[in-house]
Structure 1
């Protein structure tokens, strides 16, 4: 467990209260179902983009990917490259069209709504199938986020895994049910800013602690020189083009 101080604990408690406060604020502002589910389609670009990426990255970016990078070395950079390319194409070719046509297709509020309206389905099969896919895969993804948060609280504050998981679940459910999409988006925005700062600051602190870039590279090279090669695995095997593309 990391040594905690009263300042860290107070900061964390204030952070949780702030998240709940955002939920309460947007609970008061929500007027109808469209506001609750889509924020009335009125989110600005910065909040939308930061919220989407914070939700997308979440625990795997700050725990999963660094853990893989620690084990696999520079090979892990291809995951980041694939992520950047995929994100660009998503925003460039899908997001704008989806935003436009969900409104045209009966002002659809959810993807199952959109699919049913867009393809003029006479039965509920398309809606049910798409809803099941969302439920199954997002349930797994959401669970991984809760697990990451629980492990973080367990490491930093020494809470039991179940206790840490319960706190995270209760706070997130509370502000989500209170404020809907707007609350989720704005909490994601602030959390995304914290993630962005952490991604910039933590590596700089780590490199500084190691004595600089050269010293850090030398230490890694002494452990396994393949860790610094983006084109090989740690055992020296060359990474195939198919493997790079799949990452």
Structure 2
């Protein structure tokens, strides 16, 4: 398509702002805790925006939009729990315990939290978890770079490979310079862009459709001609089965088990910020999901066959095509910037997390005398290498939706034993190892044999479910954790006593 200087100008300003943020954050880095957890000083608004930005990514802008365009209202099974129930459970049952326990035991990462909770003195569990997170993160990041390549290729006609490399260079640069502090504040900027973009997107979809009533009627007409596009989440038994498995697996299990979100909880100023942050996060999630949902449905009513889409038959780019068919170039720049924001926000977060677990949980174990400055240097070098690997994978990837889902589910599996371990003092190291390995094995088998398509059961439900079950069963038949570990978990249940000891950043 024709080169548009307005869109280019906006994106140029946006990327420059990210680099400036990284430079300022670089000047404040003094130790590994600053680099990994931003000094544990995030307040409600930055916390809410970074949680939402991290959880959405190119999966929302391309994957969810494309899925809604193809499957219609079946995507509500993802929208509802991801925007409400999953968030509520995260803040109500997970966030406070993770924040308190991490500072209590001096953990900087979710994997260090796992290692200390499950008394992994031999580093076996820690090594397995760290490598799993690293692999899953790189896979997810590659999906985000793939999304970036699709966007820049569609908008500017750039070479697909060049677009991926350009986006990766920007992301790696500000992550190398500023660490988690830069990531959180770029997430703040990106979150604002995403909210504004989604509000305007949803409004435009309703206006151009002639109102919600007209949009619903037109969607019903499309459904009559294209049965795969359903106008109710209860269209058939198979739709309901798939929907329920998505509701529980992706909307709940994947959210509560995410190590990258646990890093956000650990970076909070104190546990009191979670109440307000929960309300803000739910509001943000609803705005983001509903805006994208309405735009995707509108595009299906206007272009019922993917071959009729105005710029590309790739359904994962339907949201971008919506902008070009409904908006002025100035607003297109803002919207594209919002989408790029959602992609960058998750990719950079996972890049930092993968780096931190390798450096803090593996490298530091074998180099215990390494200085803080040395660890920060190693972290920056590792970011470069992981970014390069992600680029190579993305150049040979397919779907943004399924690449993201695989990585997101693999990360969710890692958190399953920790969820049990924070509530049950008898959860054992052997149980945690069994849970993670069995859950990941199920995930791989589910994808290799395409069982989601065959059985209409989303991969996250069996994978995370098996991880939880294996952790519990193996813990029942193995020795109890050491007394000091059990004592910490028992005291964690006594909120008042525990919080007085750890909330030192009020």
Q: Same fold (TM over 0.5)?
A: yes
Cα distance, 1:240 vs structure 2: 5.9
Contact 1:26 1:178 in 2 (8 A): yes
Mean CA deviation greater in 210-219 or 127-136: 210-219
Asked if 1:47 is matched to 2:46, the reply is yes
C-alpha distance in 2 between matches for 1:110 and 1:133: 14
- Tell me which residue corresponds to 2:31: 32
Return closer, same or farther for 1:240/1:70 CA change in 2, 3 Å cut-off.
Answer: closer
Distance in 2, matches of 1:224 and 1:242, equals 20
Partners of 2:121 and 2:4 in 1: how far apart? 61
Q: Assess if the C-alpha contact under 8 Å between 2:233 and 2:239 holds in 1.
A: no
Shift of residue 57, structure 1, vs aligned partner: 0.9
Pairwise CA distance, 1:59? 0.5
Query: Is 1:112–1:126's contact at 8 Å kept on the other side of the alignment?
Result: no
Shift of 1:55: 1.3
Q: CA deviation at 1:91?
A: 2.1
In the alignment, is residue 159 of structure 1 matched against residue 162 of structure 2?
no
SS at match of 2:72: helix
CA distance in 1, matches of 2:111, 2:243: 33
Aligned-residue offset at 1:173: 0.3
Cα distance in 2, alignment partners of residues 8 and 72 from structure 1: 30
Where in structure 2 are the equivalents of 1:94-109 lying within 5 Å? 94-105=94-105, 107-109=106-108
Aligned partners of 1:199 and 1:88: how far apart in 2? 22
**Deviation of 1:125 (Å):** 0.6
Q: Using the alignment, how far apart are the partners of 1:143 and 1:88 within structure 2?
A: 29
State which of 227, 232, 245 in structure 2 corresponds to 1:229.
232
What residue in structure 2 maps to residue 20 of structure 1? 19
Structure 1 unmatched runs, 5+: none
Note the 1:58-73 alignment, pairs <5 A. 58-73=57-72
CA contact (8 A) 2:233 2:240 kept: no
**Structure 1 equivalent of residue 111 of structure 2:** 112
Alpha-carbon deviation of 1:161? Answer: 0.9
Query: How many pairs were matched up?
Result: 241
- Cα RMSD after superposing both structures: 1.7
Higher relative contact order (CA 8 A, sep 6+): 1
Deviations 1:84-130 (A, max 9, x none): 3222212221121111111111x111122222222332211121011
Query: Alpha-carbon deviation of 1:58?
Result: 0.3
Q: Contact 1:51 / 1:192 at 8 angstroms: preserved in 2?
A: yes
TM-score by length of 2: 0.46
Question: 2: CA distance between counterparts of 1:169 and 1:18?
Answer: 16
Asked if 2 retains the 8 angstrom alpha-carbon contact of 1:50 and 1:192, the reply is yes
Q: Which moved more, 1:118-127 or 1:181-190?
A: 118-127
Contact 1:26–1:182 (CA under 8 A) maintained in structure 2: yes
- 1:127 is aligned to 126
- 1:202-245 deviation line (CA, Å, top 9, x unaligned): 1221232233323322322222146322211xxxx345654332
| Counterparts of 2:196 and 2:68, CA distance in 1 | 19
Contact 2:111 2:130 (8 Å CA) reproduced: yes
Q: Post-superposition shift, 1:177?
A: 0.6
For structure 1, which segment, 221-230 or 169-178, has the greater mean C-alpha deviation from structure 2 after superposition? 221-230
Partners in 2 of 1:240 and 1:63 — Cα distance?
21
C-alpha distance in 1 between matches for 2:186 and 2:165: 19
Asked if the contact 1:37–1:109 (Cα under 8 Å) also holds between the matched residues in 2, the reply is: yes
**Once the 2 structures are TM-superposed, how far is the Cα of residue 4 of structure 1 from its aligned partner?**
4.4
Rounded to whole Å, the distance in 1 between the matches of 2:120 and 2:72 is 49
Q: Which residue of 2 aligns with 1:192?
A: 191
1:240 and 1:79 mapped to 2: Cα distance?
12
Deviation, 1:154, is: 1.3
SS at match of 1:159: coil
206-215 vs 180-189, which deviates more?
Answer: 206-215
Q: TM-score, normalised by structure 1?
A: 0.91
